[in-house]
Amino acid sequence: MTTPLRVLAAGDHFVLPSLITAAVREALHELPCTSGELMLGWPLEPFGRVAEVEEASDAEDQLIDALAGVQVLVTQMGPVTARVLAASPALRLVVVCRGGPVNVNLDAAKSRDVRVCYAPGRNAAATAEFTVGLMLAALRRIPQAHELLAGQGSWQGASFYTYEHSGLELEDLPVGLVGYGAVGSRVARVLCAFGARVMVYDPYIRGEVHGLRVSSLDELLSSSRVITLHARLTPETRGLIGARELALLPPGAVVVNVARGPLLDEDALCDAMESGQVSAAALDTYEQEPVPAASRLFGLAERLVLTPHLGGASRAVAEKAAAIAAAEVGRWARGEPLAHCLT
């Protein structure tokens, strides 16, 4: 009789352990397995650096205890450190329910012949939808109007109808996308459906795009009334949009960032908003998270839409993450090639 595969679903309050367990059982079909579950604290408890790994729950001891005799770990925030790996000799596969395994010591995993997989694309649709929602909120000043009426009981419709203070509509609006990956391409399709004049700058993308491809970032910025960021954060793209780039925008432009905070120089953005070069902005990610209480952004709240890194916060993302991860477990158990493997 084949020994059952032992799987640990180390989930959290977003990607629930029960979601992982159900997805793994479906992916394994008739293959025998036993599963255990561990609930980690995120997002009710913050993640952070744990030993040598980034963005993990501080739960090395709990994870070590739960991994006794386990061959497969599926997790989102579990700290797969060198210590955890050394204490888990049966472990052969780690699948991270995220776009990258930042919570795994890849060198230590490779040295112990542990395969490491991840779940790309799980939040692309959610982030694209959230981006368009923030863009509309900033263009039409929806949060400010809501706060005046619901928060203060003040009927200020007349002031929002003055030409000076009325918002912009997407139809015929020149909107520039910096990056055209899984999220940016979805945003472009939605904006085209609104009738926006979409422009795209991404030196790494080949083939057709929704909208007009431009050859340089400067050309995109000088032609766009709205820019939205969708680039990966790399040493080359850190600070990609700074004072020089914001000065290229038409006066009164709008900036949206639901990608990575360090792509945008926040002090330069605040300067541009104070001067009127940028009329409004919508941000979901920041140079430092949580945003410090002394941040200049809070002094510009009347023209800002600020959300606390919620672009990927949908139930479908949790379900997709569990399903993508479970599919990797199924492939590994059947001896098939892994789709998203780093070690």
Measure the CA–CA gap between 58 and 254, rounded to whole angstroms.
39
Q: Would you say the pTM of this structure is higher than 0.75? A: yes
Residue 130 token pair: 């959230």
DSSP H stretches of helix in the chain: 17-28, 60-66, 82-86, 106-111, 124-140, 142-146, 157-160, 182-194, 217-223, 243-248, 266-275, 315-333
> Torsion-angle region of residue 227: left (phi > 0), alpha (psi -120 to 50) or beta?
beta
Active-site annotation holder among 52, 169, 274, 289: 289
Task: Identify the pLDDT of residue 289.
Answer: 93
Q: 54: how many CB neighbours lie within 10 A of its CB?
A: 13
Q: What is the CATH number of domain 5-122+314-333?
A: 3.40.50.720
Active-site annotation holder among 296, 303, 309, 319: 309
pLDDT at residue 2 tops 80: no
Measure the CA–CA gap between 164 and 158, rounded to whole angstroms.
12
Per-residue model confidence as pLDDT tens digits over 66-121? 999 999 999 999 999 999 999 999 999 999 999 999 999 999 999 999 999 999 99
Measure the CA–CA gap between 107 and 111, rounded to whole angstroms.
6
Mean pLDDT of the chain: 96
Report whether 210 contacts 185 (CB < 8 A): yes
The boundaries of every CATH 3.40.50.720 domain in the chain are 5-122+314-333, 124-306
266 included as an active-site residue: no
What is the distance of C-alpha 303 from the center of its chain? 24
309 included as an active-site residue: yes
Sign of CA pseudo-dihedral 188, 192, 194, 199: positive
What is the distance of C-alpha 140 from the center of its chain? 24
124-306 adopts what CATH topology? Rossmann fold (3.40.50)
Active-site annotation holder among 115, 186, 260, 340: 260
Task: Identify the pLDDT of residue 285.
Answer: 98
pLDDT at residue 1 tops 70: no
Sign of CA pseudo-dihedral 43, 321, 103, 100: negative
260 included as an active-site residue: yes
